[in-house]
Structure 1
Amino acid sequence: MKKHSFFYRNGLSIALLTMMLVCWAGQFFTGWSTLNSELTENGKPTVNLISYVSSGHFIQATFENWESEFLQMMLYILLTVSLRQKGSSESKPLEGKDEVDRYPMPHENAPWPVKRGGFILKVYKNSLSIAFFILFVLSFVLHFYGSLKEFNSEQLMKDKPLVSWETYLQNSRFWFESLQNWQSEFLAVFSIVILSIWLRQKGSPESKPVDMPHNENP
């Protein structure tokens, strides 16, 4: 078997992580500049880069987006277990069992939870959706923390009283931040599910073969 380099074997994850970090750095510096502009306009002292890392402005902006991504992935994984879309490359076949539906059988190269069986296997069978659920909850909590911190910072600038987390949980601003991202994520997934019925991208595993009929599932 041909041996490939580390970058060849992991090119997709490296490219995606690199793009994410570049964009995150861009978000950080532009967010820092934006916050300082707002503080200057209100006659308040600006913050340095170190202080900005722990600011509600940065925390809220970061985890507001991560939260929606993890929610999207978790629900998409769970929905594709039982729901179908005729002709979509993102759906299992309409009839019969798919390879992912078969019961896991222990063998020499199987992951250790499969060999162990019992409760460990039961958890492992759902570990992907569980992982995304945990990531979603953590991001949701951190988004809420950052949003509350940013809201109270604005309250201080306006010489208004601070609000508690219980009060802010009922504030429409926090839910507006979440829902505007959630709807866009569901729209993106809907788009690839539907567009992959008729459109193709040669060489991509997210697309059906170019010559496959529109009404067939891969």
Structure 2
Amino acid sequence: MSAARTGFWRSNSLTLVFGGAFLVVLAAQAVAGRAEFNEQLAVAGLQQIGFGAYLTSSDFAVDVTENWQSEFLQFFLYVYGTVHLLQRGSPESKPLDRAGTESERDQRMGPHAAPDSPRWASAGGWRQALYSRSLGLVMAVFFLLSWFAQSVAGAAAYDGERLRQLQDPIGWGAYLVSADFWNRSLQNWQSELLAVSAMAVLSVYLRQRGSPESKPVGAPHTSTGVEG
């Protein structure tokens, strides 16, 4: 059935539902985060802040960006890792005989591009090389930008906490090698890597009927690269 016949909302429901849920959860995080932050201020005998002030605070920014960078890192590693790495029996893996970047024919690039293929798929040269790696590159850029934003916001939040405790601020450079920065980063990275590993292995033996992240219910456990 064509997208025109299914309608805009249905044909884009995956993005719209998850995008809407993201905004709802982000708003809920802001409410809960402000309440927790004001509790800390009250314990320290300091004046509490309003909702608008909290939304523009480094404390809110670092909590948001430290999660964003770990998610983009997960997808960057997953996009690049699945080019060469395989998992027998998993729909998250390519078939065992297709490891690597594959041929231009397999990827429908260059002279093998179809009339409706993206323009840069048949362009050749640097444009084709860039477009053929664009998903991973964009994920890498998003990761680096959000990690940088986390470091800046984290340094400001950390120094703000030190000032409230009548301690000298340490600055951004010193914060980059601090335990707080790496604890925030590594605790998110390990959880993302665990989730990817669990999904790759569990999808070998478990099924979710109708999901492209699962093999067909009746597919053998050894079937690799098959989606439901």
Asked if Structure 1 and Structure 2 have the same fold, meaning a TM-score greater than 0.5 normalized by the shorter chain, the answer is yes
Q: TM-score range by the shorter chain?
A: over 0.9
Q: 1:116 aligns to what SS in structure 2? A: coil
| Distance in structure 2 (CA, Å) of the matches to 1:143 and 1:209 | 40
Quote the residue 1:210 is aligned against: 217
Pairwise CA distance, 1:216: 1.7
1:187-202 alignment, distance < 5 Å: 187-202=194-209
Distance across 2 between alignment mates of 1:108 and 1:98: 25
2:155, 2:122 → 1: CA distance?
46
1:43 aligns with 2:26: no
Q: 2:179 aligns with which of 165, 172, 183?
A: 172
Of all paired residues, the percent bearing the same amino acid is 36
Equivalent position amino acid for 1:145 in 2 = V
Secondary structure of 1:174 counterpart: helix
When the two structures are superposed, what TM-score results if normalisation uses the length of structure 2?
0.91
Distance of 2:153 and 2:162 partners within structure 1: 14
Q: Which residue of 2 aligns with 1:186?
A: 193
Q: Deviations over 1:96-138 (max 9, x none)?
A: 5799752413332111212322111100000000000010011
Query: Does the CA contact (< 8 Å) of 1:88 and 1:194 recur in 2?
Result: yes
Contact 1:55 1:149 in 2 (8 A): no
1:216 alignment partner AA:
S
8 Å contact 1:92–1:98 — kept in the other structure?
A: no
When the two chains are superposed, the root-mean-square deviation of aligned CA atoms in Å is 1.6
SS of equivalent residue, structure 1 residue 110: coil
**Could you report, residue by residue, the CA deviation over 1:35-81 in whole angstroms, capped at 9, with x for unpaired residues?**
11111111111122221122111000000000000000000110100
Q: Which amino acid aligns with 1:198?
A: Y
C-alpha distance in 2 between matches for 1:133 and 1:63: 15
In structure 1, give the amino acid aligned to 2:190: Q
Aligned length: 218
Pick one of 12, 30, 33 that aligns with 2:32: 30
Matches within 5 A, 1:103-182: 103=107, 104=109, 105-182=112-189
**Contact in 1 for aligned 2:86/2:99 (Cα 8 Å):** no
Alpha-carbon separation, structure 2, partners of 1:178 and 1:47: 27
Return the letter of the residue paired with 1:26: A
**Cα deviation, residue 93, structure 1:** 0.7
Would you say the 8 A contact 2:88–2:96 is kept in 1? yes
Would the aligned equivalents of 2:62 and 2:153 in 1 still touch at CA under 8 Å?
yes
Structure 2, unaligned runs of 5 or more: none
Pick aligned residue for 2:94 from 92, 95, 106: 92
Gaps of at least 5 residues in structure 1 are none
* TM-score, L = length of structure 1: 0.95
